Amino acid sequence: MVDFTLSDEQKDLRELAHDFAAKEIRPVAWEYDRESTWPQEIVEKAWEVGLMNPHLPEEYGGPGLDYLSGCLLEEELAWGCSGIGTSLTCNGLALAPVALGGSEEIKRHYLGMLAEEPKLASFCLTEPDAGSDVSGMRTTAVRKGSSYVINGTKTFITNGSHADWYTVYAKTDMDAGHKGISAFVVPREAGVTVDKKEDKLGQRASDTAMVSFHDVEIPAENLLGEENKGFKLAMMTLDRTRPGVAAMAVGIGRAAMEFASDYAKERVQFGVPIAMHQAIQFMIADMATKVEAARLLVWQSGALLDQGKRNTLACSHAKRFAADSAMEIATDAVQVYGGYGFIKDYPVEKLMRDAKIMQLYEGTSQIQRLVIAREVLMPRRVTEAATA
């Protein structure tokens, strides 16, 4: 029998994350959004109460939470503010390749660093001319004796201005397409340059930067996994992080639905609250269904990981549906507010701006459809383990 009943520990975590979002994030979210400022104080508080690095393994000082629990946490933080939530949770994207492919010494050093202090790490895959087409990357890593020398530029790097280390993907064989990509862990002090901070439409409390590597030399031991096997490591990482990103989309959609519902009960037109009009009722009903359906897809994608099963199809379903639903719900929430929804004094215009990025990062909605189509049209006969 399928059972998504949460354990007492999961319920406690969900309550902790919600209380933190309600008390520490939401009261200042619109201010941080307006000024596009970095939420350092909130980062430190979240680290202190244990809301960062949920999947950091216990042997390296982390809580080692299951992936479903991580989804619960990320939905609540995004309900408070998805920009700040992204700042708090993006370490997971950088640490996953290290946990999967790093040597014991590398894991103890770099993963342990995140457990010791409220430090940050960034995942560097996207480039100005290589987004969805990862094989088109131009960043190179050339072996020189006992070192690799990295040259190139990465763009749209979350927490890039504030990271203490970076998981970097680079070509070690320029002629092999995605089969020539390798992954490395690169400390900031090795010479990483932050070129600029992006001025974004939404999630403005999240730092997004362009970073460059100019003859950055690192020890050969910083290679993650095998040379030229970095693409596989990246795909394994995204299978682990997309459920959490989808959960953030659920949080945005839920917040927009709640604001719209509350406003509809207060706003009076034609002598009654607009919530009494069937047109508005149907919009709210559709929002509620999308939130519930998206959450179930998210939970399924996380639960499969926790069972050690391959979740590629499930997490693409979750990411695509939750992201598109968040955008639809937020757009409809603006509609419920009418002209006021278009004004920055009201909350839903921020949610509409925040929702858009969910359809873009960690694989666009179109890329998710490609993955889904491939999995449906060419199904694997044997279900692979998540760690394969």
- The pLDDT tens digits of the residues spanning 53-62 come to 999 999 999 9
Is the torsion defined by CA of 181, 187, 190, 196 positive or negative?
Answer: positive
pLDDT, residue 193, reads: 98
pLDDT band at 387 (very low <50, low <70, confident <90, very high): very low
Mean pLDDT, to the nearest integer, of 356-382?
Answer: 90
Whole-angstrom distance, CA of residue 17 vs CA of residue 274: 32
Domain boundaries, the chain: 8-116, 121-228, 231-377
Q: Which of 245, 312, 271 is nearest to 71 (CA)?
A: 245
> Given a cut of 50, is residue 384 above it in pLDDT?
no
> Given a cut of 90, is residue 349 above it in pLDDT?
yes
Backbone angles phi, psi at 214, to 5 degrees: -115, 100
Half-sphere exposure of 108 (CA within 13 A, CB side): 3
DSSP states of 287-332: HHHHHHHHHHHHHHHHHHHHTTB--HHHHHHHHHHHHHHHHHHHHH
> Given a cut of 60, is residue 1 above it in pLDDT?
no
Residue with the larger pLDDT of the pair 297 and 381: 297
Q: What is the pLDDT of residues 67-118, one digit of tens each?
A: 999 999 999 999 999 999 999 999 999 999 999 999 999 999 999 999 999 9
pLDDT, residue 197, reads: 96
**What is the CATH code for 8-116?**
1.10.540.10
CATH of 121-228, one of 2.40.160.210, 3.40.50.2300, 3.40.50.720, 2.40.110.10: 2.40.110.10
- Sequence-separated (6 or more) residues with CB below 8 Å from residue 338: 267
pLDDT, residue 379, reads: 80
> Given a cut of 90, is residue 279 above it in pLDDT?
yes
pTM score, whole prediction: 0.95
- Beta-bridge mates of residue 219: 147
CATH of 231-377, one of 3.10.129.10, 1.20.140.10, 3.40.980.10, 1.20.120.80: 1.20.140.10
pLDDT, residue 320, reads: 98
pLDDT, residue 3, reads: 80
Average pLDDT of the chain? Answer: 96
- CB-CB neighbours of 178 under 10 Å: 17
> Given a cut of 60, is residue 382 above it in pLDDT?
no
Mean pLDDT, to the nearest integer, of 324-330?
Answer: 98
pLDDT, residue 4, reads: 83
**For the purposes of burial, counting CB atoms within 10 Å of the CB of 319, is it exposed (0-12), middle (13-18) or buried (19 or more)?**
buried
Mean pLDDT, to the nearest integer, of 292-316?
Answer: 97
> Given a cut of 90, is residue 317 above it in pLDDT?
yes
Q: What is the pLDDT of residues 232-275, one digit of tens each?
A: 999 999 999 999 999 999 999 999 999 999 999 999 999 999 99
Catalytic residues: 362
pLDDT, residue 388, reads: 39
Mean pLDDT, to the nearest integer, of 128-155?
Answer: 96
Beta pairing, strands 181-187 & 165-171: antiparallel
Mean pLDDT, to the nearest integer, of 168-180?
Answer: 96
Q: How far, rounded to the nearest angstrom, does the alpha carbon of residue 29 sit from its chain's CA centroid? A: 18
Contact 221, 103 (CB under 8 A): yes
